[in-house]
Structure formats: structure tokens, C-alpha cells
Structure 1
């Protein structure tokens, strides 16, 4: 019915094949460029860091992954493990059996997660490809719906790979622990709400930083997916701007709720609309605790 949906996104693990087959890898090496930094486009904390580049270059590493300390918000994200033969590997939640998810999510056992900020030694990448052929990464089977915007569309499997998995293919690959400021992902509208709010500021060098006025370094946000999952639905309900969240530690919104301008949320906030019609949080409202509309 929709030809635009008749394809399988290969995941960012396809980077290495595209890099090689396009000729870009050879072109960069011929220009004398030895190192590349790659990251997810949705990570607003990623950027060139000369100190990390210097460390990577001075230690002559073939591959380096930036990792950070896992928090409860990162329980489902890919984490680092060590193979019984000693080398590092990346484990994604989609690769984990359901019976092992509790252990997978244990942030005490697996304390570091992959930010997907990667540093590549281009000659080492070229040598790996020349020796072993195109980079072969573990396949990941993700359960999706044919139309991501319609949960009632037919269920499908997305077969993909993760670029961080290449860490297991480079002898001498390393990880470097970085501060959380290197990782501000916006994967869902829950994340977008926090980023658009006054919790974050742009520094003079255009880096996203946590507002020092925040009462908590972390905030847990849940928006009802029936109304806020798409960017269109999200924008329609925050036309007057997103609420102030500097004094908010958690936010849950269930039901269809529209926010007018200059709303302030404090502490743990739970907003519930139990009706089928949309309810409105009036301009200038200050909300803490539970609000039933």
C-alpha cells in the first residue's frame, strides 16, 4: 500500500560497508586523514574533543569507544562485556534472551554503557577489511510494526547491526570513560521534552549543558504514546512551549493533555486525563504531585 515502507533499515552497523564501498575510506586515507569520529545524529552531546583525539592518536589505538556510567535510565541500552577469550564486546538488549533480561539490566554487574561515540583509525580499518573482507557484525533482530507510526500495522522484523559491535573485531581496541555530558540522546519525544525545556542550556561554545538551577541531575519522563509518540502529536500539545522542568524530578502524563504557555512543574508530577476529549493545563499553572483532569 505504501512503497516508502518497503525497505529494511540496516542499522548504523552498515557504516563500515558504506565507508568502504563508496570509496570514501580510500579517499580520506589518500588525503592523509588517519582518524574519524562518528556518533549518532540524535546524540546532542557528541562532538569533536581534541583531548580524546590526542589520547586515541598517541596510544595508536585501532578503535575506541566512549562509555559512561549506566543509570536506571540506561538499563535497556547496549553495554560492554568481556568475552571469555578476553576481548571486549558489545551486548544489545535485542540480542538478549528474555530470560536473561534481568541480568542484562543489572547496572551493578554491567556498569558501563556504549554512548556510540566511536573513534576509528582509518588505516587500521582498511587493513581489517583487506585481511578479513567487509566488517562482519552480529545481526540484531528487532520486532517492529510495518508502519512505525501505526502500532496496528502488521508486525515485522527489522534485521540490523550496530556499529559499536566492531569493537570485538579490532585487536587492541579500547574504551574510554567519559562524563555524561558527552551523551544527550533524543530518541523519543520523552527525551525531546527534557532537551527543549529549561533543564538544558547552550554554552558559549554551543554545547548542551545541564542548567545549574536543576534540583536533580536526572529526570524520568513518561508521555502517553497514544498522544505524544510522534513529533506532530508532541508539537500540537506544547504549542505554547514546554513546561519549566528545573524543579521537576519525574513526570508522567496519561491521556490527551494540551499545555498552554508558562507552565511550571515541580517535584514528582503525575498528570492524568481520564476522559476521551482533550484537557488543557492553563497558562501560568504551577503543578506538583498528582493532577487529575
Structure 2
């Protein structure tokens, strides 16, 4: 997704190699088990009602080990991703609950490049910024920093036809 963000404000929006494609599969570098599932691609392109999906996020059941990633919530009548860095400290234990938040984002995304282009042309590619607090340094000498980050999976709320699988 970084290449899409890089070209967001640069005509002709998408590089030629991407402009010839209809969908793109994006996976986080941490997800070593990510593979292209042709069943999901088929699901994208063959919607019975004629409304093709613009954004599919692969999810899995959340386990107690899944504490650093995100979960899905409904907010303003849209599906959104909530990351732990967005959760106030007072609610972190609630966020980590596998009974309250049962879904975990795998960072495998299927995105319609036509939808990305439309959002770019409408200047509606509103990527939320997450401020991620980090502690850096060696033992005995720690520096607390705040790293602003954007994540492509956060744009799930921007698309009109989204699904999770």
C-alpha cells in the first residue's frame, strides 16, 4: 500500500504497472504465511448483485496472543479497524479481551485499484493517523518516543463495498 500512498497526489495517480490491474493483494511484511487465495479473488469479481467489493480484509479468530494488532468495530455506520495504539490506557484490557473483540486483522487485504483511484480523484483518501508510543534505547537509557503512522488497513471505512473474510 505504500506505493499507493506515495502516488496518491502525483499525477497520473497510479503508476502504469498498477493502472493495468483491477485488484491488488497487500500483505504486511510480518505475515510470513500470506498467500494469494484465488477463491477470494473470485469472490471479489463475481458478486451476484453486480456491486463488486472494493475492499476485503482477511480476519481470523482473536486469541490471547493477538494483542498488538487490530480488531473491527462499527463506527458512524461504517466498518473500521481499531488498533491498540488508538485505545486509551484505561480500556486496553477490554481491547485485549477475546470475548468482547473476537476478530483479529491478519493484514491481508484485497483492494480495488479503481476504488483507490476514485477516492484519490475525490480527494477522499483520508488515512487516519495513529500515534504509536515506543520506548527505544539500551538497558538503563530509555527514550520515549511517539511515532505517527498510517496503515492501509485503516482505509476500510473509506470504501462503499467492504467485506471481511
Q: State the TM-score bracket (shorter-chain normalisation).
A: 0.7 to 0.9
Unaligned runs of 5+ in 2: none
Matches within 5 A, 1:53-72: 53-59=41-47, 60-72=52-64
**Equivalents in 1 of 2:65, 2:58: separation in Å?**
18
- State how 1:1-293 maps to structure 2 within 5 Å: 14-21=2-9, 25-28=14-17, 30-31=19-20, 33-59=21-47, 60-83=52-75, 85-133=76-124, 135-145=125-135, 148=136, 150=138, 152-176=141-165
Cα distance change, pair 81–103 in 1 and its aligned pair in 2 (3 A): same
Compute the displacement of 1:102 (Å).
1.8
Given the superposition, is the C-alpha separation of residues 61 and 102 from structure 1 closer, same or farther in structure 2, using an over 3 Å criterion? same
SS in 1 for 2:118: helix
- Measured in 2, the distance between the counterparts of 1:143 and 1:120 equals 29
Q: Which runs of 5+ in 1 are unaligned?
A: 1-11, 177-293
Change (3 A) 1:78 1:30: closer
Q: Distance in 1 between matches of 2:105 and 2:157?
A: 13
Once residues 175 and 155 of structure 1 are traced to their aligned partners in structure 2, the CA distance between those partners, rounded to angstroms, is: 35
Shift of 1:101: 1.0
The higher relative CO (CA closer than 8 Å, separation ≥ 6) is in 2
Q: Which has the higher strand share?
A: 2
Q: Whole-Å Cα distance in 1 between the matches of residues 86 and 4 of structure 2?
A: 20
Contact 1:36/1:119 (8 A) holds in 2: yes
Deviation at 1:27, TM superposition (A): 1.3
Query: Taking structure 1 as reference, are residues 70 and 122 closer, same or farther at Cα in structure 2, changes over 3 Å only?
Result: same
Shift, 1:86, TM fit: 2.1
**TM-score under structure 1 normalisation?**
0.50
Aligned-residue CA RMSD in angstroms? 2.1
Secondary structure of 1:132 counterpart: coil
Between Structure 1 and Structure 2, whose CA radius of gyration is higher?
A: 1
Q: CA deviation at 1:76?
A: 3.4
CA-CA distance at 1:25 after TM superposition: 2.1
Shift of residue 139 of structure 1? Answer: 1.4
In the TM superposition, residue 173 of structure 1 has moved relative to its aligned partner by 1.2
Could you say which residue in structure 2 is the equivalent of 1:256? none
CA distance in 2 between counterparts of 1:19 and 1:117 reads 21
* Counterpart-to-counterpart distance in 2, 1:82 and 1:54: 26
- CA displacement at 1:30 relative to structure 2: 4.2
* Residue of structure 2 in register with 1:187 after alignment: none
Query: Residue 82 of structure 1: CA displacement?
Result: 0.9
